[in-house]
Amino acid sequence: MSEVEKRALLCEVRAEENEEGQPARIIGHGAVFNKRSDMILGMFKEEIAPGAFDDVLGDDVRALFNHDPNFVLGRTRSGTLELSVDAEGLRYEINPPDTQSVRDLVLAPLTRGDITGSSFAFRVAPDGDEWREEEDGLIVRTIQRFSRLLDVSPVTYPAYPDAGAAKRSLEARCAEIQDLAQRAVNQRRARERFLELIHA
């Protein structure tokens, strides 16, 4: 089973008032298609292909604040979280509980623009991603299919988490990719040297 990974991005998330007397909704995108992430672990960039979420939209997904399982804002099974895919990416709409902590810690900062990031936790399907090295040496991972969607979260700090299983698994994969990239560079240099020798 693949490790759980998390990605956080700066994309629109907002609190939207409902009719008078009704609690606000939280609307945002947990992921966007065909846009590259910032460098992950300082080693590669990532993009998500349209269709990557097709197999996981029916999962029992939670909406959390800052990925905190103790701060549940909604859930697909209970109907308080709705997920969909649009042209931009994975869209979520949360009907959070009408509690003082949600009003103070989530809705008020969203309304003020203090919280602007979204994140999602996931597992990639086996053979669900493709890695390539571009001409400038940049390593790019394209995720084509997820096997599990665990949560979507409005987040205070849209940055890659510093600890946890996801980081360890990605570090191992990055080390493997770096090794492959270095071997490719060495092979190219060897070919160039060989060509220099035969044309000398």
Cβ-contact 81, 90 below 8 angstroms: no
The answer to whether residue 10 scores a pLDDT higher than 70 is no
112-144 pLDDT tens trace: 888 888 888 999 999 999 999 988 888 999 999
Mean pLDDT of 48-62: 96
What pLDDT shows up at residue 79? 97
Token representation of residue 118: 């979204």
Give the chain's mean pLDDT: 80
Please state, in angstroms and as integers, the Cα–Cα distance from residue 188 to each residue in 181, 183, 195, 196, following that order: 11, 9, 11, 12
What pLDDT shows up at residue 1? 54
Sketch the domain layout of the chain as residue ranges. Answer: 5-198
User: What does the alpha-carbon distance between residue 55 and residue 78 come to, in Å, rounded to a whole number?
Assistant: 20
Q: Side by side, which strands form the sheet with 13-16?
A: 13-16, 25-32, 89-94, 81-85
Strand 62-65 to 129-133 pairing: unpaired
180-199 pLDDT tens trace: 667 766 777 777 776 677 67
pTM: 0.71
The full DSSP string for 100-129 is HHHIIIIIHHHHHTS--EEEEEEEEPTT-E
Q: Give me the percent of the chain exceeding a pLDDT of 90.
A: 38
3-state secondary structure of 172: helix
Token representation of residue 146: 């997820």
Cβ-contact 129, 144 below 8 angstroms: yes
Q: Side by side, which strands form the sheet with 117-124?
A: 5-10, 117-124, 146-155, 62-65, 68-75
User: What does the alpha-carbon distance between residue 7 and residue 152 come to, in Å, rounded to a whole number?
Assistant: 10
